[in-house]
Amino acid sequence: METFSIRKESARAAGDAPPAPADRTLTDLARLDDSELLGIVRMLPQASECRAVACELLVGRHHNLVRACVRRYRRSPEPVEDLIQVGYVGLLKAINNFDPAMGGSLAAYAQPCITGELKRHFRDKRWHVRVERPMQELVLQVQEAARQLTQRLSHAPTDAELAAYLGTSDHEVREARQAEMALHPVSLDAPLADRPGAVTLADVLGQEDPQVEHTLGMQALAAHWDELPRREQRILLLRFYGDMTQAEIGKQLGISQMHVSRLLAHALGYLRQRILGLHEGDSGTGLAATRA
């Protein structure tokens, strides 16, 4: 039988619990039925050793229920031992909260508690990236539906079949399948089976290309280039592609260096406003600059 570790009190102060139940031996408690043990659990404080023994007896009697609830997740990458411990947490919550006076059996009350604890474990503990709660729940529903439909149809169900079974759309099923990938991360050091020479995933991943930002900037510039006067276009080309100084540009165009400086500032300010979508007056160099 599974053993479940329950912390005992180190020293029990006199008067913590009624003398009769506190003095009962393990053999005496083992003769009681579930409802009587649950009565002791509800009557005694949590620090009581007698209460702890009653809880342990109840857990031992229903350990097969925990295993039955865990069995449906046997294909999960989670270790079965870990899931059993999660199931025991749900069972203990059921023992602490169940009231025999309300009717029903502990097993009937505990089963949804155990299953709910397992679902919370999969929903909250195993996601390596943030996935919204409704999508987490849909992923679990798709997984369970896929298992059931595979047995019923004798083949892996399509997205359309899963959507019809769950009463959702094909698009939502596809999103759930993509989100499920967050449950199975792949190490960057994992070797690729289809690549010779022990190539890892990290070896084939692309790196950030600094030229991408330059390309995007040039595309944005080209969209507004023809809006500039020809002379300002020529000044920009001589300055940034010809690598000429303002004095050299002025000498070539037959204008002063100061005039070149004003035209260059206007052209750059105009392009900046157009690319960034600024309004007149938002930039230090505005459209109202004087053209010469």
In a domain, 280, yes or no: yes
Q: Is residue 199 assigned to a domain?
A: no
105, 124, 143 — which closes off a domain? 124
| Higher local confidence (pLDDT), 173 or 191 | 173
Q: Quick check: is 14 in a domain?
A: no
Residues ≥6 apart with Cβ < 8 Å to 39: 100
**161 and 180 inside one domain:** yes
Where does a domain end: 185, 210, 235?
Answer: 185
Return the pLDDT at 176: 87
Same domain, 97 and 29: yes
pLDDT value for 15: 38
Shared domain check, 139 and 69:
no
Question: Which has the higher per-residue pLDDT, 205 or 22?
Answer: 205
Q: Are residues 86 and 166 in the same domain?
A: no
- Give residue 90's pLDDT band: very low, low, confident or very high (50, 70, 90): very high
Task: Answer whether residue 271 is part of any domain.
Answer: yes
Q: Is the residue at 53 inside a domain?
A: yes
Verify that 30 and 107 share a domain, yes or no.
yes
Mean pLDDT, range 271-284, rounded to an integer: 67
Question: Do 53 and 146 lie in a common domain?
Answer: no
pLDDT greater at residue 231 or residue 137: 231
Pair 97, 37 in one domain? yes
Percent of the chain with pLDDT over 70: 76
Token representation of residue 25:
């031996």
- What's the pLDDT band for 185 if we cut at 50, 70, 90? low
Residue 290 has pLDDT above 50, yes or no: no
Same domain, 53 and 117: yes
- Hunting for tokens 């600024």 — which residue is that? 278
Q: Angle, to 10 degrees, between the axis of helix 63-71 and the axis of helix 49-61?
A: 50
Q: What is the CATH number of the domain that holds 174?
A: 1.10.10.10
**Domain-embedded: residue 265:** yes
Residues 197, 203, 209, CA angle at the centre, nearest 5°? 150
225 and 260 assigned to the same domain:
yes
Residue 136 has pLDDT above 80, yes or no: no
Both 139 and 94 in one domain: the answer is: no
Q: Mean of the pLDDT values across residues 213-219?
A: 79
Lowest mean pLDDT among 47-51, 124-128, 239-243, 280-284: 280-284
pLDDT tens by residue, 22-38: 445 677 888 888 888 88
What is the secondary structure of 70-105 as a DSSP string?
Answer: HHTTTTSSS-HHHHHHHHHHHHHHHHHH--GGG-S-
- Higher pLDDT: 11 or 175? It is 175
> Total structural domains in the chain?
3
Residue 6 lies in a domain: no
Tens of pLDDT along 101-113?
777 788 899 999 9
Residue 116: phi and psi, rounded to 5, are: -65, -40
Check which CATH number belongs to the domain holding 61 and give it.
Answer: 1.10.1740.10
**Residue of 30, 36, 87, 33 lying closest to 56 (CA atoms):** 30
Non-local (6+) Cβ contacts of 33 within 8 A are: none
Distances (CA, A) of 270 to 143, 226, 229, 236: 56, 12, 11, 12
CA distance 211 to 216: 9
Candidates 21, 29, 90, 31; CA nearest to 56 is 29
- Angstrom distance (rounded) from CA 273 to CA 284: 10
Residue 263 shares a structural domain with residue 291 = yes
What is the C-alpha separation between 105 and 111, in angstroms, rounded? 10
Q: What angle do CA 24, 28, 33 make, to 5 degrees?
A: 115
Q: What is the pTM of this model?
A: 0.42
Which residue range is the domain that position 228 belongs to? 221-292
pLDDT tens, residue by residue, 57-77: 999 999 999 999 998 887 776
Q: Is 284 a domain residue?
A: yes
pLDDT at 266 over 80: yes
> CA 220, CA 89: separation in Å to the nearest integer?
59
CA 8 – CA 123 distance, rounded (Å):
31
pLDDT at position 2 over 50? no
Indicate the residue among 124, 141, 176 that finishes a domain: 124
Q: Would you call 26 helix, strand, or coil by DSSP?
A: helix
pLDDT tens sequence across 159-174: 999 999 999 999 999 9
- The tokens describing 257, both together, are 């260096």
Residues 116 and 171 in one domain: no
